[in-house]
Structure 1
Amino acid sequence: MRKTVRRRLGQHFLIDPVAAARLVDSLALDPGQDLVVEIGAGRGALTEFLAPRCGRLVAVELDYQLAAGLSQKFREYSHVSVVVGDFLKQELQDLCSPGMRLRIVGNIPYAITSAIILRILEPRSRRLIHDVTLTVQREVAERIVAKPGSKAYGVLSVLSQSLAVPEVLFGIPPRAFRPRPSVSSAVVRWGQFRQAEELGADEELFRRLLRSAFGQRRKMLRNGLLWLGDARLRALEALGWDLNRRPEELSPEEWLQLARDVSSLGSTDVGPAEAEDAPAESGAHG
């Protein structure tokens, strides 16, 4: 991959073996049952600690030169395979092995943090994944676990907390990476994924409601739900919903209940445009 593309990806390579070892130690890997998919393996800082501990390791790396280096470095490990490509374009089902737990790990590109998180939270992904452990910007980590009513609370907070149990494990300072980023990072884990049938709500509608409401987060809930139409808004009020509340005031469970109630009112074929909930700074870890 040409240097111009690497610069666009803004790769920040993890160079601190203590941080890498701490992340891998936190996984408590079982070689007898754990299949690890590593996103953006880069120069192998995490791979080096993962390879001896898991039953199978799939290192996904977009940069073909880095991927070639990984293949050479870990050629003696028969259970390690390197996939050259974009994780977002991989079919997780194709990477799975029967009888093994799928665990996803990575120091991921800042620029596509939200896209990766949304991918792992998709219904088909949640059915396959045991847990996910990622290094993200500290700001994004705070948003993922933010409480209702806080400035950081948004779409990523609601989705993460309603579809899984997220936790921030520990922070990593900028000096642990080269080139050194301008922001701190943190390791976040999502576990205990909830399946679509457990939610009792139309998940597509749930996501549409979140996008439309948080697209106007400083306004009343009513403003973000105008696309539902006057009749449905009146019906929601009759069910007890205070549409003068702001989107960030509703808990994850309230958002699920809102989706259930909207669904009970009939078809909602027309929806809003998607609203981004992306991190402020782009960059990547390798």
Structure 2
Amino acid sequence: MDLCNSNDIKALLGRHGFRFSKSMGQNFLIQGWVPQDIADASGADETCGALEIGPGIGPLTVQLARRAGRVAAIELDRDLLPILAETLSPFDNVTVIPGDAMKLDLAALAAEQFPGLTPVACANLPYNITTPVITALIEAGCFASITVMIQREVAKRICAGPGTSDYGAFSLFCQYYTTPEYLFEVPPECFLPAPKVTSAVIRMVPRAEPAQTLVEDAFFFRVVRASFAQRRKALLNGLSAAFGDKLGKDQLRQAIADAGLPEGVRGERLGIQEFALLARALRALGA
């Protein structure tokens, strides 16, 4: 059975009486090069345990099983479980875990499933859960790499640099903890049913060293959120809304100046180091 052949897929789904769920964002791959290239990009080998979220009928799972020491695939749709039992039956190194990835402790699951192996994450993520799942994978803090296929617009946002239209607080969050790399695009015609948007594959590797050491992470991101809350306005406006109860506008202007920034700068133009200097200056003034 070819899990990327549309006729084989339709026959498989028909045998199990499966119907696509729009609410779960189900789009199955019909081009074999896609799961192969995603699995290759993950770098998974026999020393790795690969965590997959949303395996669907299993084309990427099969490719990971051929490379990794073990694979754990989390599937929310229970209607897919008997299908996965059939498609993954040739592989004894795969465990399918029924459940919602957003409600599981991913670090604990990886430790349980992959003893003695290096955990990596690799998935074709449903569009409707992309941001929270990526956030959870990063915050789990245990994956040597995170390789995902997601909506192209989100992939560009994650990899965007300061001052660009795609750059935002989520870009900075991902880049704070990892080094994202935009790998390749996957057109809509590679899926059944075809989505209305293009997908893209990115790989994120955790930073070996902290992105900054001037302030604690929680305060750093409080400053980031304040700076992007009114992204089309000057940085001073967002800081005033967030810290105005403790610091007056003159003090906030002083913090911006102490960070070496022009008074009229917008938060969307700042990178990690600029935000770190600004956060330190705000801390020094009592924020």
Provide the TM-score with structure 1 as the length reference: 0.84
Give matches, 1:177-188, under 5 Å. 177-188=191-202
**Aligned residue for 2:37?**
22
**In the alignment, what sits opposite 1:253?**
273
Give the corresponding residue for 2:5.
none
Would you say 1:47 and 2:61 are equivalent positions? yes
SS of 1:261 mapped into structure 2: helix
**Alignment match of 2:283 (pick from 250, 263, 274):** 263
Which whole-Å CA distance do the structure 2 matches of 1:139 and 1:236 have between them? Answer: 34
Q: Among residues 163, 167, 170, which one is paired with 2:181 in the alignment?
A: 167
Is residue 77 of structure 2 the alignment partner of residue 63 of structure 1?
yes
Q: Is the CA contact (8 Å cut-off) linking 1:202 and 1:260 kept in structure 2?
A: no
Paired AA for residue 24 in structure 2: L
Q: Say which structure, 1 or 2, has more relative contact order (CA 8 Å, 6+ apart).
A: 1
Contact 2:57 2:84 in 1 (8 A): yes
Q: Which moved more, 1:41-50 or 1:9-18?
A: 9-18
More displaced, 217-226 or 199-208?
199-208
SS of 2:171's partner is helix
Q: Which residue is 1:233 aligned to?
A: 252
Amino acid at match of 1:202: E
Partner residue of 2:117 out of 88, 97, 100: 100
How far the C-alpha of 1:198 sits from its partner, in A, is: 6.0
Q: Separation in 2 of the partners of 1:49 and 1:30?
A: 11
Q: Which moved more, 1:174-183 or 1:75-84?
A: 75-84
Whole-Å Cα distance in 2 between the matches of residues 237 and 25 of structure 1? 45
Higher mean C-alpha deviation, range 34-43 or range 73-82: 73-82
Contact 1:11 1:109 in 2 (8 A): yes
Counterpart in the other structure of 2:28: 13
Which of these two proteins has the greater Rg computed from alpha carbons? 2
The percentage of counterpart residues that share the same residue type is 37
Aligned residue runs from structure 1 range 75-224, under 5 A: 75-95=89-109, 96=111, 97-122=114-139, 125-126=140-141, 128-193=142-207, 199-224=213-238
Residues 15 and 45, structure 1, Cα contact 8 Å, conserved in 2? no
SS of corresponding position for 1:121: helix
CA RMSD across the alignment: 2.3
Change (3 A) 1:3 1:54: closer
Q: After superposition, what is the alpha-carbon deviation per residue over 1:133-176, rounded to whole angstroms, capped at 9, x for unaligned?
A: 00111111111111211111111221122221000111101001
Report the Cα offset of residue 25 of structure 1. 1.7
TM-score where L is the length of structure 2: 0.83
**Where do 5+ consecutive residues of structure 1 fail to align?**
269-286
Q: How many residues align?
A: 262
Contact in 2 for aligned 1:159/1:252 (Cα 8 Å): no
1:281 is matched with which residue?
none
2-structure distance, mates of 1:5, 1:11: 6
Residues 261 and 72 from structure 1, CA distance in 2 versus in 1: closer, same or farther, beyond 3 angstroms? Answer: farther
Structure 1: how far apart are the matches of 2:128 and 2:93?
30
